[in-house]
Chain A
Amino acid sequence: MIIEHPLLGPRDAAEFTYLGDARLIDRPDWQSETAAHDFFEYGYLRDNPAGWHQELWFHEAGDRSWLVITRNTVTHEISKVELARDVARSRGRSK
């Protein structure tokens, strides 16, 4: 596969390591009433779609960016590549 890195252009997938569902960005609030339940879902429950999937890849043999890649799990087509940091900010994460 070829990944269009937002900063570095097209890079071979061999330079990256895969983590999984980009929902891992949405780490729950530790002080919430339902924290135990929320963390359980966060840690263990994932969708496993046959189709479009947002997922986290790490450019380990490159610039060490975490990326959010929108990939079709059936065809391996990649429609979007974003810096995970930008995605995290857009989802309201800060400090």
Chain B
Amino acid sequence: MTQKNRIATGGQIDRSTTHSFTFDGKSYQGHPGDTLASALLANGVRLMGRSFKYHRPRGPLTAGSEEPNALVELRDGARQEPNTRATTTELYDGLFAKSQNRLGSLKFDLLSINDRLSNFLTAGFYYKTFMWPAAFWEKLYEPIIRHAAGLGSLSLKDDPDVYDKGFLHCDLLIIGGGPAGLAAALTAGRAGCDVILADEDFRMGGRLNSETFSLGDDSGADWAAGIIAELETLPNVRVMSRTTVIGAFDHGIYGAVERVSDHVHTPDAGKPRQILWRIYTKRTVLAAGATERPIAFENNDRPGIMLASALRTYANRFSVTADKRVAIFTNNDDGHRTAADLHAKGIKIAAVVDVRPDAPKTYDYEVLEGQVVDTRGRLGLSFVELKLANGSTRMLECGALGVSGGWNPNVNLTCHQRGRPVWNEAIAAFVPGEHLPAGMTVAGAAAGDMSTAGALRSGAQAAKLAIDLTGDIPDLPQAEDAPVNVKPFWYVEGCSRAWLDQQNDVTVKDVKLSHQEGFRSVEHLKRYTTLGMATDQGKTSNMGGLAIMAELAGKTIPEVGTTIFRPPYTPTAIGVFGGRHRGQDFHPKRLTPSHLWAEEQGAVFVEVGNWLRAQWFPRAGETTWRESVDREVLATRGSVGVCDVTTLGKVDVQGTDAAEFLNKIYCNGFAKLDVGKTRYGLMLREDGIAKDDGTAARLAEDHFVVTTTTANALPVYRHMEFVRQCLFPDMDVQLISTTEAWAQYAVAGPNSRKVLEKIVDQDISNEAFPFMACANITVCGGLRARLFRISFSGELAYEIAVPTAYGDALIRKIMEAGAEYDITPYGTEALGVMRIEKGHAAGNELNGTTTAQNLGMGRMVSKKKDSIGSILSEREGLNRDDDLRQIGIKPVDPAASVPAGAHLMSLTGPVDAAHDQGYVTSACYSPNLGHSIALGFLKNGSERMGERMRLVSPLTKVETEVEIVSAHFIDPEGGRLRA
């Protein structure tokens, strides 16, 4: 028999089926119902990992999610997952795992040299040892430490699995499926409440599966199975195993991770690996149980040394013993249960060592009063050294030692809303405090009610209270009701290399050292020593550290207090937080109505907000983007071009106060704008800085269409609603965002009118439809449309809009109508070049630091009316004569380029921040002028036309002599616009 430590009978494993699995290249066998840790122990494997810092050999300390030591790399290839706890990993056929954090083999880890160097690696060694010389830190020390310390490694491949998110609602959420949780679920479930019962284990029942007590006439495990079977028949109860509630959030919202496919080799088709549930509940019963805590003694971290309750779980639930010869070290009655259970299974109990003089002696094995003072065994425990109460010492041969220092209620979730636990002297442990998350009741061991009968009772009562049940609670079976009998005992006098936090390698010596060095607050102790900062968050180590700290400071444990518990309760994969929002699906993708058409033209797209916009349209033979863009610009200015401007924000403003409303949101006036006319509007923030710009077209006395920039469509709409609802609640004005309702195209260039005349049903001659006109029109013989004679390019130009469904048809119609004029589609790059040539400000200029003054539009800010930002825009500091003004820049050498972001300095003065006079905001090559041009801001710039300056970009090491010119490079008189 290969499973040499498997007990012959019993346990909740299916012996009729055998699973094969691989650990560190070697093949083993186990059964359904095993964890990876229980199966390895069954095969006589105690050594499962190496510690974080000293590379000490380690085996499992626990049999649950609090495990600090037995962390492995589970699965291989892209599905490899580091730092997986072997104690919670459900065994499946073909499971593949490797030990981690080792150099060489697990048995002969070359980095175990660190253990010999431990004097240099104590608390705070980072700060002390690697101080000098500073340059060595990044190049030498850190890479070495990074390599030596650490846990598992990542595959660095894309995770092939899917993670989902889901939402659940219930009347009562019960966290934990042990005796308290099951009694609560039975009470609420039978009463007809909507109940969710969640437990992190794959087998519901909690400690009932690990104990030999009977409940009524049944074993604990059978009783639990019977209750679960009943609950699963109730339509109002959802039983969720393999589901860890990781956090308690505001207003009765809980986060839970369901491991849907972690227990199978490969997720079934269509199934996610894990689901992150957001559970909305009216009330909660926390029945999270308790965690046993160890005692610190010299060399207490050898494989084979475990929590006594873990030995019991392995024996009773998994039918495994860590060794044939076991000793127990305890300060309370519960440790003796392990001895009794193992003894009953025929395992040799070497001795039970109890620190108390009055320890119970029920069986025929030795019970000694004394302490474990040291241990032996290179890769696993072989002897423990005892110091007995009578002063004698003794060596005890054993391959496993069960340690019990008492039990800590799992109060974690009670603290997620800043609740603090309180000390309970009777059980020598922290229990939940007064301030629980709203709607939460705590039951069973989590509340400090440690007996099985107590758990059943308090679980049922908690549910009754939570759901306002007037009737009786269900009949509960007879169960053990033993009191807690514990003598607080945290560490053995005189020990130093006695581990508190086994995952982060923090010893008693480290805690003493940190106290010596003046770290008095428990939060400081934690950060200096890293106690409790590992992936197990100190579930088995924090109490020991606190107790020692209290003793050193001469305080009581409650005076010292605990650190804060935060979500998640157990380590959670980042993948499940991301869910399906990754890669292409990270955020929504918005496509304009003519996207397909643009694709047909071979457009290169760019993301703007969530939109995909055509950036340029390369043609055969064009090898660089510049060639395409130059062609598009020249073709538009030479004849006609068309550009999709659907993505600009559009807000419909209607009501008798619509004009007055626009007067409030724009710094310039709109009340006197004629119907059928469009006006440029500049929007300020209340602090006087420019917020956004756009146009407002008055289609009727009480109807405007406002445009915003693409990027600001959402925030500007939000701002307009704020002004409407919060500042001027009685204005008769209604707003609706119509960005998606209209497809809109800019048709620009000297031949644009000729193209549109073939499509628009009305007269659009210069006389009938002059510059800045707007109108509701029809196209193609009756389709409703809107036409605006506005221009971003500086050419004779129009923007034409049709309902979204007709966008694709319209662009094809425009292309057809424009064919005789060689109409050219242009993208956002050509759009940008033309607006720089024209000197129009855009996002680079409205950059959140500039005022109307800076933009050369100071006189637009009306002082005759109230508008957002008008008062603070008058502040002295924003109105200095030498303030920045928007200017144009051209290089003296026409072949030189103008780097965006470069700064303007005088020709001869020093080049430093103190002599900075301005900067470039937008730069491009102008195919019309044949050289680079730029827009920027310069101190007192409007008075400095013709001045020569140096343009300096220290980052790119470029220095160019430039001339300050008007920002209007093309058609400064605007004749083309009005043609």
Contacts and interface: CB of A to CB of B under 8 A. Distances in A.
Interface residues on A, range: 35 or more
Given A36-B875, A58-B721, A60-B718, A93 B727 contact: yes
Interface in A68-95: 75-78, 83-85, 88-89, 93-95
Nearest to B717: A64
Contacts of A76: 250-251
From B280, B687, B727, B866, residue with most partner A Cβ within 10 Å: B727
B732 to A, nearest CB: 9
Contacts of B963: none
B721 A94 contact: no
B730 A95 contact: yes
B726 A17 contact: no
Interface string A3-27: 0000000000100010100001101
Contact of A2 (B252, B722, B725): B252
A66 B280 contact: no
Contacts of B728: 93-95
Contacts of B871: 28, 30, 35-36, 39
B502 interface: no
Contact of A75 (B417, B657, B722, B729): B417
A1 interface: yes
Given A42-B686, A76-B250, A66 B872 contact: no
Contacts of A27: 686, 727
B197 interface: no
Contacts of B874: 36
Contacts of A85: 725-726, 729
Contact of A88 (B249, B686, B729): B729
Contacts of A56: 722, 726
Interface in A33-57: 35-36, 39-40, 42-44, 56
Contact of B726 (A1, A24, A75): A24
Given A2-B280, A36-B871, A75-B417, A43 B725 contact: no
B250 A88 contact: no
Nearest to A39: B871
B721 A89 contact: no
Given A64-B721, A75-B417, A30 B729 contact: no
Contacts of B154: none
B368 interface: no
Contacts of A19: 722
B725 A65 contact: yes
B258 interface: no
A44 B523 CA distance: 35
A75 B686 CA distance: 31
B722 A66 contact: yes
Nearest to B871: A39
A86 to B, nearest CB: 8
From B686, B874, B875, residue with most partner A Cβ within 10 Å: B686
Interface in B299-345: none
B870 interface: yes
A13 B660 CA distance: 33
B849 to A, nearest CB: 16
A28 B729 CA distance: 15
A21 to B, nearest CB: 12
Nearest to B728: A95
Nearest to A40: B872
A58 B726 CA distance: 11
Nearest to A88: B729
Nearest to A22: B726
B807 to A, nearest CB: 25
B805 interface: no
Nearest to A35: B871
Contacts of B253: 1-2
Contacts of A35: 871
Given A27-B686, A28-B871, A83-B725, 15 more contacts: A17-B718, A24-B722, A24-B726, A36-B871, A36-B872, A36-B874, A36-B875, A39-B686, A42-B686, A60-B718, A75-B417, A84-B725, A85-B725, A85-B729, A89-B730
20 contacts: A27-B686, A27-B727, A35-B871, A39-B686, A39-B872, A42-B686, A43-B686, A43-B872, A56-B722, A66-B725, A76-B250, A76-B251, A84-B725, A84-B726, A85-B726, A94-B728, A94-B729, A95-B657, A95-B728, A95-B731
Top 6 nearest A-B pairs (CB, nearest first) are A30-B866, A94-B730, A2-B251, A39-B871, A76-B250, A85-B729
Interface of A: 1-2, 13, 17, 19, 24-25, 27-28, 30-31, 35-36, 39-40, 42-44, 56, 58, 60, 64-66, 75-78, 83-85, 88-89, 93-95
